[in-house]
Amino acid sequence: MKEPHSHLLRKEDTYAEKPIIWSMKLIKGIKSKRKKLGLSQEEISFATGIDQSVYSKIERGVKKPAPCQINSIKQFLKIKKL
């Protein structure tokens, strides 16, 4: 059922945007680990098979990564849990 006055909500107020908030922990963890290891985004993208521009967007929080991308990155960086 559609919420009353849902046409007045901004995009960032909708339910679809809420998962991005919890994923910021994931994004910060990946970026922090990459920098700690002294690796570039290009090196990570090459090793994981993720296009460099896509990887950059994931790290900046612009693009939500697919589960397989998250797994590839975590496996390469040897991250067990974030």
* All domains in the chain, ordered by first residue: 20-77 (1.10.260.40)
* Cα distance between residue 80 and residue 82, in whole Å: 7
- For 16-68, how does the pLDDT look when each residue is reduced to its tens digit (9 = 90+)? 444 444 477 888 889 999 999 999 999 999 999 999 999 999 988 888 888 89
The pTM score is: 0.68
Task: List, in order, residues 6 or more apart from 58 with CB less than 8 Å away.
Answer: 27, 30, 50, 64, 65, 69, 73
pLDDT score, position 62: 85
